[in-house]
Chain A
Amino acid sequence: MIDDTDRAIINALQGGFPVCDRPFLVAAESLGLTETALIDRIAKLRADGVLSRFGPMYNADRFGGHNTLVAIEVPEDRFDEVAAIVNAFPEVAHNYARAHRLNMWFVVAAQSRAEVDRVLTEVEAATGLTVHDMPKQREFHVGLRFEA
């Protein structure tokens, strides 16, 4: 369980972590904590899985690669088998089961569009299913913070 101090850290630190010699000291001051307490709290929240990461969040578009969102209609009795095939590709970054006829949605990321196409072709060959390729055409920027 997280307490009020954890909540304050999560709500205050989803951005703006300082770039200086003693960033935890600076961030801890505004939270009324010591530097050590803040470091220990973040370490525990990481270990407990409340935080999935701590550090810089990069704009993956700037890495120079290509990615696309892919949807497949998977027969229910083949779902786990197909998930295993799809997930085995290192180019598959995330994969979600969703409640719809198109019930498997995953992101393929690679260095070039040709590499992405190769993965999609291999997924179709390995599964016998049709992939629906929906590359991002435009992104609307948001800065959402989650309230703890």
Chain B
Amino acid sequence: MRQLDDLDRRIIVATQDGLPLVPEPWRQVAGELGVEAEDLMDRVRSMQEDGIIRRIGVVPNHYALGYRHNGMSVWDVADEDVEAAGRAMTELGFVSHCYQRPRCPPAWPYNLFAMIHARDAATADSLVQRLAEALGPMNRGHLVLYSTRILKKTGLRLGA
């Protein structure tokens, strides 16, 4: 896994809030950074290949699209089952993020987190049910914590 170099960092800082909405956005960013457009585009492609850029496009605000039921489903799975359980859940295709995290006993026995999003409560419940079915006996207990308010949302950013 390569480290970010100076050009990577400058490109990230210039574009992490978005691309300019002009016919030649890459050329405009290159101009702002004082590099050739071809060099900038080559570097963007290489950042895609290296996984530094996950994808390029529109990021919908899922609330605005009507996805109001956003749940953090959390699961207690034996450590040796975490890999199989994580794969089983993400293979269903509707989980947006899935992480293993440490338990915080006794308050918190759950070690696998999967985010689900639905337009109504019944659909949200059915998605959780499908996750439970996919885990089968690997699931030793679960909960869903629905978000009731967004208190802050700035995202993870690279400092200039």
Interface residues on B, range: 35 or more
CB distance from B98 to the nearest CB of A (A): 4
| A148 to B60 alpha-carbon distance, docked (Å) | 8
Determine the chain B residues whose CB is within 8 A of the CB of A59 once the complex forms.
51-54
User: A96–B147 contact, CB under 8 A?
Assistant: yes
| A44 to B60 alpha-carbon distance, docked (Å) | 13
**27 sampled A-B residue pairs with Cβ under 8 A:** A19-B26, A19-B44, A20-B26, A22-B23, A50-B60, A50-B61, A50-B65, A54-B59, A56-B53, A57-B59, A58-B12, A62-B51, A62-B52, A63-B12, A71-B108, A83-B152, A99-B148, A101-B107, A102-B107, A111-B159, A133-B104, A136-B99, A136-B101, A137-B99, A138-B100, A140-B86, A144-B95
| A43 to B150 alpha-carbon distance, docked (Å) | 24
With A138-B82, A139-B99 already in contact, the answer to whether A17 and B41 are too (CB < 8 A) is no
The residues in A between 38 and 84 inclusive whose CB is less than 8 angstroms from any CB of B are 39, 42-43, 45-46, 48-60, 62-65, 67, 69, 71, 73, 83
The residues in A between 95 and 146 inclusive whose CB is less than 8 angstroms from any CB of B are 95-102, 104-107, 109, 111, 132-144, 146
Interface residues on A, range: 35 or more
CB distance from A136 to the nearest CB of B (A): 5
CB distance from B43 to the nearest CB of A (A): 10
The 7 A-B residue pairs with the shortest CB-CB distance, nearest first, are A60-B156, A15-B55, A140-B86, A55-B19, A140-B98, A95-B151, A97-B149
The residues in A between 6 and 45 inclusive whose CB is less than 8 angstroms from any CB of B are 9-10, 13-17, 19-25, 35, 39, 42-43, 45
Nearest A residue to B41 via CB reads A19
Nearest A residue to B9 via CB reads A63
Q: Does B89 contact A (CB under 8 A)?
A: yes
Main secondary structure of the interface of A (DSSP, over half): mixed
| A71 to B154 alpha-carbon distance, docked (Å) | 18
CB distance from B68 to the nearest CB of A (A): 13
Partner of B55 from the list A14, A83, A134 (CB cut-off 8 Å) is A14
Residues of A within 8 A of B (CB): 9-10, 13-17, 19-25, 35, 39, 42-43, 45-46, 48-60, 62-65, 67, 69, 71, 73, 83, 86-87, 92-102, 104-107, 109, 111, 132-144, 146-148
Determine the chain B residues whose CB is within 8 A of the CB of A67 once the complex forms.
156
With A63-B158, A94-B150, A135-B101 already in contact, the answer to whether A15 and B108 are too (CB < 8 A) is no
